[in-house]
A and B are shown apart, each in its own frame.
Chain A
Amino acid sequence: MTIPKGWVSIEVKELEDLPCLRFAEKPERTSSWRLLKEKVVDAGICSHCGTCTICPVDLIILEDRPLDFDPKKGCMGCGVCVAVCPRYKYVPLNGVGDYIEALAGKSKRFVGQDGAMVSEFMASALEMGVIDVALFVARDEFFRPFVVHVRSPEELLDRKITGTKYSFASVMPELHRIIKRGDRIGFIGTPCMISGLRKVQEKIPLYKKNVPLAVALFCTENFYWHQLYDFLKERGADLREAEKTDITKGNFIVTFRDGSEFTIPVKEMEEIVPEGCHVCQDFSGVESDVSIGSVGSDPGFSTVLVRTSVAKKVLDFMMKKEYIETGKAKMKIVQRLCDFKIKIHPYSPEEEKGEESEKEGSKE
């Protein structure tokens, strides 16, 4: 047995635009946490993806409010939060991105937001053995999102797990928590979470090994749960009674248990769109293995953009087992939405804020 003498941590050379201290016995003004605070959180471009919760001393925790942390509580200045932050030295990704195959799909087994293709994709991956566990977001009686581990396709029959919540969920902290277990994890997230995941994977090979499948959801913006809840309550829609939320054709639609609907234009929701979403141009999750969303397909179908060979294998498996009905995806509409998101969310390092927002966009 050969025992290596020393081991070397990830390089943080790219952080060196401030005279930053790589490690400190106690946090100082020059420690690397400051980069995250100044360049990301205070600059208002934090996407609330939660990648920085990798923090080894659990100083950064993800809550239902803008990111905030106190380095005096034990920060060691390791700089890993900055090293993995997708919004540090932010270069916006945009467009549809490369894909191998584009189609519209509808699951025969599950009921979801539209075609329930995310559930179907993960269920098939679990069946194939590509992944051991998938991180899904379920909701409680207040429509509050929380993360659940799904280990068998049957668990996805629960309607509380499938369907969109339109609020930030702590998927990333959960991923960091279970990454050492050795299970292969299927990851579902908004494009910003996928960017975070890819950055972690690039820095830390452990994540590359343990997260073989990452599914992106089409996304124009996401909300804090308490803001969304209060906002809708003020306008007379109680999320406690809701069964489904949806964004279609520029309207936020809440469907209640008794069948009635509440509709509000997304334009009017501008006040509760988080700051970080104003600079995001990635509609389709360019870096993911597969992107799924309702845009660009008929009602009841979901658009699926397969980008990597892993996802292609899962898709072939689904086709072979005839779990899905397929249709044709209208890539023009997806392309239009991508362009639209670039238009409404302009970003340049000099800092510009997008004024208006919205249009149709939906995430499953």
Chain B
Amino acid sequence: MVKVVKSPKKGLVRSAIGHFRAITEVAKVVVNPGTITVHYPRERRKYPENFRGMIMFEKEDCISCFRCAHICPANAIQMYPDDEGRYYPGIDYAKCIFCHFCVDSCPTAALKQSKIHDVAYKDVDSMSVTPEEMDNVPEIVREDAVTVEYDFDRDIRLVKRKEVENLLVEVDKPERPEFKAVPQYGENCIGCRLCMFSCPVNAIRSKLEETKVILETDYDRCTGCGICVRICPTEVLILTPVEREGDHQ
């Protein structure tokens, strides 16, 4: 059995009411346009502070701990060696999925987020950014003079403000317990000096005294990155939290 669907009956009065409603709606929009479209790039949405955009890098804060490179799920971060034997991250934006795991894992906030997301690259090669280039803020053409924000009070509404937003985010340096690599079990040392070679801040020095290798840590330089602790083959070094300044030495 085929069920026949009939169109509803339209009376003259009903269609008149329908037309009237449509005309009032148009009149409303003509008087007060209520669009929620953002006129990018003349307008720009106001993004939250933790927006996951392009990643900024400050070389001074980096301790070459490799955490960003290890955690990157897209394998987009490569560590580039520099002349001093330290390693700094460079991001391949062709691979980056903007998960910001690297930013979250960075213990010194050397990597930090920004609100820049609309960078154009001319070719694929230039998308892989070296540490030197990462210091620079990526160049973008900005035409926006207005910041737009959605207001969800009763209805979705656009709030427009005449202001130019700073796309760079200032991040407070995280407060974290200070660690030092302390030779807890010096008797285990085999004198291989891997710790000395691996130390990114050259805090460990060695000297030869007859047939013994004597290693020394400069605790003022030690950043507690833990590279030497991981690399030591016989567990001489232990990462120890420093309780208070002046407590040690």
Q: Is B136 engaged at the interface, CB distance under 8 Å to the other chain?
A: no
Q: Are B190 and A80 in contact (CB under 8 A)?
A: yes
List chain A residues, Cβ under 8 A from B210.
13
Measured between C-beta atoms, what is the minimum distance from B56 to chain A in Å?
35
Q: Is A18 engaged at the interface, CB distance under 8 Å to the other chain?
A: no
Q: Which of A3, A8, A83, A204 contacts B234 (CB 8 A)?
A: A204
Stretch at the interface among B28-36, B101-109, B180-188: B180-188
Measured between C-beta atoms, what is the minimum distance from A309 to chain B in Å?
24
Q: Are A76 and B219 in contact (CB under 8 A)?
A: no
Q: Are A78 and B185 in contact (CB under 8 A)?
A: no
Q: Which of A4, A10, A11 contacts B182 (CB 8 A)?
A: A4
A78 to B211, CA, bound (A): 11
B194-249 contacts to A, CB under 8 A, are 194, 197, 206, 208, 210-217, 219, 233-236, 240, 242-243, 247-249
Q: Is B127 engaged at the interface, CB distance under 8 Å to the other chain?
A: no
Q: Is B140 engaged at the interface, CB distance under 8 Å to the other chain?
A: no
Q: Is A264 engaged at the interface, CB distance under 8 Å to the other chain?
A: no
A208 to B183, CA, bound (A): 18
Q: Are A7 and B234 in contact (CB under 8 A)?
A: no
Tell me whether A12 and B214 are in contact in the complex, defined as CB-CB below 8 angstroms, given that A7-B236, A204-B188 are known contacts: no
A10 to B233, CA, bound (A): 14
List chain A residues, Cβ under 8 A from B236.
7
Q: Is B85 engaged at the interface, CB distance under 8 Å to the other chain?
A: no
Chain A residue with minimal CB distance to B216?
Answer: A6
Q: Which of B187, B211, B217, B247 contacts A16 (CB 8 A)?
A: B211
Q: Mark A14-40, 1 if CB is under 8 A from B, else 0.
A: 011000001100000000000000000
Q: Are B216 and A9 in contact (CB under 8 A)?
A: no
Q: Is B191 engaged at the interface, CB distance under 8 Å to the other chain?
A: yes
Tell me whether A7 and B206 are in contact in the complex, defined as CB-CB below 8 angstroms, given that A22-B191, A22-B213, A79-B191 are known contacts: no
List chain B residues, Cβ under 8 A from A11.
211-212
Measured between C-beta atoms, what is the minimum distance from B226 to chain A in Å?
14
Q: Are A78 and B193 in contact (CB under 8 A)?
A: yes
Tell me whether A56 and B247 are in contact in the complex, defined as CB-CB below 8 angstroms, given that A6-B214, A7-B236, A23-B208 are known contacts: no
List chain B residues, Cβ under 8 A from A5.
216-217
List chain B residues, Cβ under 8 A from A204.
187-188, 190, 234
Q: Is A129 engaged at the interface, CB distance under 8 Å to the other chain?
A: no
List chain A residues, Cβ under 8 A from B185.
205-206
Q: Are B180 and A7 in contact (CB under 8 A)?
A: no
List chain B residues, Cβ under 8 A from A83.
190
Q: Are B211 and A12 in contact (CB under 8 A)?
A: yes
Q: Which of A3, A12, A15, A78 contacts B249 (CB 8 A)?
A: A3
Chain A residue with minimal CB distance to B241?
Answer: A1
A359 to B247, CA, bound (A): 67
Tell me whether A1 and B243 are in contact in the complex, defined as CB-CB below 8 angstroms, given that A6-B216, A9-B189, A79-B191 are known contacts: yes
> Which of B185, B192, B219, B247 has the most A CB atoms < 10 Å from its CB?
B192
List chain A residues, Cβ under 8 A from B186.
4, 6-8
A160-209 contacts to B, CB under 8 A, are 176, 179-180, 203-206
> Which of B183, B240, B243 has the most A CB atoms < 10 Å from its CB?
B183
List chain A residues, Cβ under 8 A from B249.
3
Q: Is A216 engaged at the interface, CB distance under 8 Å to the other chain?
A: no
A22 to B217, CA, bound (A): 20
A323 to B151, CA, bound (A): 77
Q: Is A54 engaged at the interface, CB distance under 8 Å to the other chain?
A: yes
List chain A residues, Cβ under 8 A from B208.
22-23
A1 to B184, CA, bound (A): 11
Tell me whether A206 and B234 are in contact in the complex, defined as CB-CB below 8 angstroms, given that A8-B186, A78-B191 are known contacts: yes
A3 to B188, CA, bound (A): 16
A180 to B188, CA, bound (A): 12
Q: Is A100 engaged at the interface, CB distance under 8 Å to the other chain?
A: no
> Which of A3, A5, A78, A79 has the most B CB atoms < 10 Å from its CB?
A3
Tell me whether A10 and B189 are in contact in the complex, defined as CB-CB below 8 angstroms, given that A1-B243, A206-B235 are known contacts: yes
Measured between C-beta atoms, what is the minimum distance from A14 to chain B in Å?
9
List chain A residues, Cβ under 8 A from B182.
3-4
Chain A residue with minimal CB distance to B218?
Answer: A5
Measured between C-beta atoms, what is the minimum distance from A186 to chain B in Å?
19
Q: Is A57 engaged at the interface, CB distance under 8 Å to the other chain?
A: yes
Measured between C-beta atoms, what is the minimum distance from B248 to chain A in Å?
5
Q: Are A10 and B190 in contact (CB under 8 A)?
A: yes
Using a CB–CB cutoff of 8 Å, the interface residues on chain A facing chain B are 1-13, 15-16, 22-23, 54, 56-57, 76, 78-80, 83, 176, 179-180, 203-206
Can you show 12 pairs from A to B with CB atoms below 8 A apart?
Answer: A4-B182, A6-B217, A8-B186, A8-B189, A10-B190, A12-B211, A12-B212, A22-B213, A23-B213, A76-B193, A204-B234, A205-B185
Known: A7-B183, A16-B211. 12 other contacts (CB 8 A): A4-B182, A7-B214, A8-B189, A22-B208, A78-B191, A80-B190, A80-B192, A179-B234, A180-B235, A203-B190, A205-B187, A206-B235
3 closest A-B pairs (Cβ-Cβ)? A9-B191, A7-B186, A56-B192
